[in-house]
């Protein structure tokens, strides 16, 4: 759960800076956020979460 919250905060920060630099429009940001929200409620959420956890564990093993 702690990994999920920190990744959400990281993605929110990236989205904020993309909006601020006008690299990403408000419509595109809304679509990206809606896609993430609806993707989380599908069957793909479990494998995506497991993949993210595996990548984070592998990065920790490198250090």
The residue count of the chain comes to 63
C-alpha 54, offset from chain centre: 15
Over residues 30-41, the pLDDT tens digits come to: 878 877 877 777
Tell me if 29 sits within 8 A of 15, measured CB to CB.
yes
> 4 pLDDT band (50/70/90 cuts)?
low
Considering the chain, what percentage of its residues have pLDDT values greater than 90?
Answer: 6
- List of residues 6+ apart from 6 with CB closer than 8 A: none
């Amino acid at each position: 759960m702690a990994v999920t919250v920190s990744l959400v905060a990281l993605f929110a920060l990236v989205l904020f800076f993309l909006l601020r630099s006008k690299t990403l429009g408000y419509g595109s940001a809304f679509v990206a956020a809606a896609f993430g929200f609806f993707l989380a409620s599908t069957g793909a959420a479990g494998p995506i979460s497991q993949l993210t956890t595996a990548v984070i564990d592998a990065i920790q093993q490198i250090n």
